[in-house]
Structure formats: structure tokens, C-alpha cells
Amino acid sequence: MLQAIEFAAVFASAIYGILLGCRKGLDVVGVFSIAFAAAFGGGTLRDLLLDRTPLFWVSNDHYVVVVFALAVVGSAWPRLASRCEPLLPLPDALGLALFSITGAGFALDAGCSPVVASVIAVITGTFGGVIADIICNEIPTLFRAAPLCATCAFAGSWVFLVLELYTPAGHAVAVWAGFAVIALSRLGALRWNWQLPNAAAP
């Protein structure tokens, strides 16, 4: 099940990266680079931290083919991408939720404690976007005043972990509950600009 979720996460995050690259007016190489970073950045860091080899996109090379094909289509029809711009929050939220749940699941499979698994979940869900923002020469939204992102991943991962480890709810219920919490809270944060308090300057 985690493999299927991972593929959906790659697809959603690639769409987010493509829309971001088209917004910046990049060519096909630039759009593919942003899509690649968004789709594989967080999962790559997860695999390195968990000492999982080969990296998930190396052992599943069709992921790279899918991302490349999406990038070519998005670059060839930029007008289509611009029309999809209002939909950017959707792949953002879906990618965050899907990757966060896979991060927590693979961390548990590797024998990590729930606390470590929740941290791995946040890293997996957010760092693809961080790398994409850096490539676009922007301060990552994760590190500045912006709608909740890492908080959504953290909260949803704990919903998944508690249901998975401490209740008889079953794996599927835990996955879908954690996914729903992350995706819906992220969409709500983007819609209503939910933010954490900023550190006040002295």
C-alpha cells in the first residue's frame, strides 16, 4: 500500500513543481528540475536518513519517466499550466499528505520510534518543496511567515501513528485518517491563511 501511496505522492508533487516552474517562466529543463526536486527531494532525504538503498526513485525508475513526461507536457503547453494555476493548492496539499504518510510508514518499518517517525514524516512531506523554492531563488515558505505546512504534516502523522500503533483501527483506516488530517488542514491553511505566531524582533 505504501508503494501505491508513494507513486501518488510523486505524481502530485511533480504537478506542483511543474506549475511552480511554469509560473517562473522556465524552459523544459528548468521545469523538469523543479518537478524532480519537488517529487523526489523529501523522499530522497528520508531514504538517506533511514539508510534505505537504493533510493526510492532509483529502484522505481518509472517514477522519473512519469515526472519527465509531465514536465514536457507542462512546458509544451504553458497556457494549460497557467489555467491550472488556481489549482496549485490541491497538488500542494495532496503531495504533502501522501509523502508525510509514506515517511511515517517507512520509518516504522525501519524500526524507528513514533517520535522519530513523526519527524521523518515532516521531512519527507516538506523538503521537496524546500529544495524547489531554493532552486527558484526564493526563501522556502517553510521557513517564513506562511500558511501552516510542517504543522499539518506533524499533526496528521501523529493521527496515523496513534491509530496504527495503539488502536485496532487497522492500517487502511490509519492511513486515510492521517492523510485526511494533513490534506484538509493544509487546504484550510492556504484558504484562510492559518499561521503560527512569528518570533517578535527585540
**Measured between alpha carbons, how far is 1 from 52 in angstroms, rounded to an integer?**
18
Average pLDDT for 146-158: 94
Output phi, psi for 127, to 5 deg.
-75, -15
**Measured between alpha carbons, how far is 164 from 58 in angstroms, rounded to an integer?**
29
Burial of 172 per CB tally in 10 Å (0-12, 13-18, 19+): exposed
Q: Which residue has the higher pLDDT, 142 or 60?
A: 60
Q: Say if pTM beats, i.e. exceeds, 0.85.
A: yes
pLDDT of residue 78: 67
pLDDT band with cut points at 50, 70 and 90 for residue 196: confident
pLDDT of residue 80: 67
pLDDT band with cut points at 50, 70 and 90 for residue 201: very low
pLDDT for residue 184 is more than 50: yes
Q: What is the pLDDT of residues 3-36, one digit of tens each?
A: 788 888 898 888 888 888 888 888 889 999 999 9
pLDDT for residue 95 is more than 50: yes
Q: What is the pLDDT of residues 44-77, one digit of tens each?
A: 999 999 999 899 999 999 999 999 999 998 887 7
pLDDT of residue 102: 94
pLDDT of residue 9: 87
Averaged pLDDT score across all residues of the chain: 89
